[in-house]
Amino acid sequence: MTDVLRTQEDPKPVEPERPGGEELPDADQALAHESGIAVKPRSQWYYVRTRFLRHRLAVASLLVLVGLALVAIFAKRVAPYDFDQLDLFNIAQPPTRTDTHWFGTDLLGRDYLSRVIFGLRTSLWVALLVAGLTTAIGTTIGSIAGYYGGTVDNLLMRFTDLVLTLPTLAVLLTASVFVGNGDPFRVGVILALLFWTGLARIVRGVFLSLREKEFVEAAKAAGAGDARIIVRHLLPNAIGPIIVAMTLILAAAILVEAALSFLGFGIQPPNPALGKLIADGQTQGLDSWWLVTFPGLVIVVIALAVNFVGDGLRDALDPTQRRIRA
């Protein structure tokens, strides 16, 4: 959702650079030549990695996400039961350690830990699909609009206006009802088709600001074609904003897909999804509090972690912050 993206902007003031605290690799290398001290050449990615690793919350969040992803990938081995395995002798059990019903069971005796794990698998898969598709569409259209300008650019901006005019969730709901079919893949595609405009605008902005620069002119003079200039010279400059936007889209996709599935118009049975599990929890009686609580907690944890990782990436990928914070 574009709205979500807009609200994620953290108005943190840029930390002032301390004089003398910067490391300038070129100067370092020149110095190394003169003094004979060996200096390791450091790439941009070295700085990015180091800056990211200093961001403890982001690293912890990344670990949580990797853990959850592993659980999702190996769901069949990790989950103690199958997600639709009935056990009518153990219905509506509150969370207990016996029989590993850590998240309790529902009114049909299905183990909720297993259902949450399989739901996590679907939800993560859809979110990744949305992020991937959105990035592909948004980057392509944003690059073309930003590089060529003119009609393509105009069309893009008008379409973005159109999408911004419509209440996003309502349009998504309408689309899911009429073409979604409760299928995870279709729901993912629908989300991506409404999400890409924000990213396209970001890429367009970067391209607009760079396309008149000298290095582009130099590449042209050296005989590079449009495609080569876009892919080799301009896109690498947009990588930072694209990655950050991708993480935010990932978080938004998880939340919006959950809302759609909860309302009954997103992913539908037999496919398990976290939002749908929460809705089941509501229909199965509110005294079974664990049915609503656990799937929702998982969503909150994912969304929080993705946001923190995005925050860490934003700081790490900002090339103006060459200095590594101690």
Partner 1 sequence: MLTYIIRRLLYSVVVLLVASFLIFTFVTVSGDPLSFLKMSPGVSQETIANITERKHLDDPIIVRYGYWLRDAVTDQFGTTIIGERKIMPDIQRVMGHTLQLIIAAELLAITLAISIGVYSALRQYSVFDYLATTFSFLGLATPVFWLALMLQVLFVNVYLWWDIRIFYTANLSGVDPGGGIDFVLDRAQHLALPVIVLSIANIATYSRYMRGAMLEVINSDYVRTARAKGLKERRVIMRHAFRNALIPLTTVVALNFGALIGGVVVTETVFALDGMGFYFINALNSGDPYPVMAWLMIVSTGVIVFNLLADITYGILDPRVRHD
Q: Is the peptide bond before 270 cis (omega within 30 degrees of 0)?
A: yes
Count of H-run helices and E-run strands, the chain: 14, 0
Question: Whole-number minimum distance, CB 231 to partner 1, in Å?
Answer: 32
Radius of gyration for the alpha carbons in the chain, expressed in angstroms and rounded: 24
- Using the minimum distance from each CB to partner 1, give the nearer residue, 216 or 298: 298
Nearer to partner 1, 135 or 307 (CB): 307
> By the criterion CB under 8 A, which residues form the site for partner 1?
1, 3-4, 6-11, 13, 161-162, 164-171, 173-175, 177-179, 251, 255, 258-259, 262-263, 265, 275, 278, 281-282, 286-287, 289, 292-293, 296, 299-300, 303-304, 307-308
Q: How far apart (Å, rounded) are the C-alpha atoms in residues 138 and 2?
A: 13
Query: What are the angstrom distances between the C-alpha of 305 and each of 59, 89, 245?
Result: 9, 37, 15
Judge whether 46 and 324 are in contact, CB under 8 Å.
no
Alpha-carbon gap, residue 181 to 196, rounded angstroms: 22
> 235-263 and 168-175 are packed helices; what angle lies between their axes, rounded to 10 degrees?
70
Q: Give 81 or 262: the residue with its C-beta nearer to partner 1.
A: 262
CB of 117 to partner 1, least distance (A): 18
With respect to partner 1, which residue has the nearer C-beta, 79 or 251? 251
Distance in Å, CB of 181 to partner 1, minimum: 10
Give the Cα separation of 155 and 173 in Å (integer).
25
CA 199 from centre of chain: 12
Element (H, E) at 12: none
The nearest distance, CB 24 to partner 1, in angstroms, is 29
What's the min distance (Å) between Cβ of 261 and partner 1?
Answer: 10
Question: From the CB of residue 34, how many other CB atoms can be counted at a distance below 10 Å?
Answer: 7
Q: Name which of 123 and 271 has its Cβ closer to partner 1.
A: 123
- Could you tell me the smallest distance in angstroms from the CB atom of residue 275 to partner 1? 8
Nearer to partner 1, 242 or 278 (CB): 278
Amino acid, single-letter form, for residue 155: L
Q: How far is the CB of 95 from partner 1 (least distance, A)?
A: 14
Which lies closer to partner 1 via its Cβ, residue 4 or residue 216? 4
What are the C-alpha distances in Å from 196 to residues 35, 154, 240, 287? 52, 16, 17, 41
> In the bound complex, what is the minimum distance in angstroms from residue 299's beta carbon to partner 1?
6
Nearest residue (CB) to partner 1, 36 versus 167: 167
